[in-house]
Amino acid sequence: MPKSEGELRQDIVEVGRLVYQKGWVAANDGNISIRLDDERILATPTRVSKGMMHADDLIIVDKCGSKLEGKRECTSEILMHCTIYNMRPDVNSVLHAHPPVATGFATAGRPLDLALLPEVVITLGYVPLAAYGLPGTPALTEPMLPYIPKYDAIMMGNHGVVSYGSDVYRAFFTMEIVEHFARIAFVAEMLGGPKVLPKVEVDKLLDSRARYGVERRNGATQECPVVAEDLVERGARAGMARAELIALIDEVLKARGIA
């Protein structure tokens, strides 16, 4: 049985508390929404800590982001949520936060695009990085448009991360996977650089998605992260300078037409 609006309000309050406790937002940052039906979206308001919300703080907006109900003001990032719902009929919840390690990568201009961990390859493929856009304007969402149909999480340049899924807990767990992946990738970098999985292993992981209940989105081939062979082909070698390696990774993605 579908959840009632009251239950969905409680879900947002609960996920907001988790997001705050995990340190993925500071002060009043971040926003969470749930699609109620074809016409209405339940969303967190602006100027309230997502860790300290009450169910009646939430507002309801229409599918263009105009407020329909609620005493608090609408977040300026609601247009990003509306765009995602519009482009992804399978998505019923959107979560935006600033988890510090993944946001650090986004701020350094570094997508989480290497094939490093089996769970990440299976669930997300990889996490692309959309260029910076001014918050509260259409420029925020515009660089994300090519990625929305094919990925369930996007890093936002010099800003944060957005994740989405069939319900608010799915969106939350996807954000958790992104931040956990970023932490592991960061430690691997500190320890001399990650060892990237070869294509044959990545293909096996992508083929196993059905077994794990992960549905392929359109153009699933574009979710393939950068594999070891990609880098070898472009002359990567052990102990190579980080900046040079990052340039090679960029070339791989550009060659696939998705950077």
Least Å distance, CB 180 to Zn ion, is 20
Among left, alpha and beta (phi > 0; psi -120 to 50; other), residue 65 is left
Selection from 194, 192, 183 nearest residue 227 by Cα: 194
Between 160 and 225, whose beta carbon lies closer to Zn ion? 160
At closest approach, how far in Å is the CB of 185 from Zn ion?
22
Shortest Cβ contact with Zn ion: which residue? 160
Binding to Zn ion, residues 158-177 (CB under 5 A): 160
* CA dist., res. 138 & res. 143, Å (int): 9
Smallest gap from residue 75 Cβ to Zn ion (A): 9
Reference 97, options 86, 106, 87; nearest CA is: 106
Tell me whether residue 95 or residue 197 sits nearer to Zn ion (CB atom): 95
DSSP-based three-state secondary structure for 2: coil
Q: How far is the CB of 29 from Zn ion (least distance, A)?
A: 6
Largest CA distance in the chain: 59
Nearer to Zn ion, 20 or 122 (CB): 20
Token pair listed for 205: 């992981």
Closer CB to Zn ion, residue 65 or residue 160? Answer: 160
Closest CA to 111 of 133, 127, 100, 97: 127
Q: In whole angstroms, how close is the CB of 215 to Zn ion at the nearest point?
A: 28
Q: Compute the half-sphere exposure of residue 224: CA atoms within 13 Å on the CB side of its CA.
A: 22
Q: Quick one: which segment of 156-164, 177-185, 199-207, 218-226 binds Zn ion (CB under 5 A)?
A: 156-164
Here's the x/- map for Zn ion, 28-67, by CB under 5 A: it reads as ----------------------------------------
Residues that bind Zn ion (CB under 5 A): 160
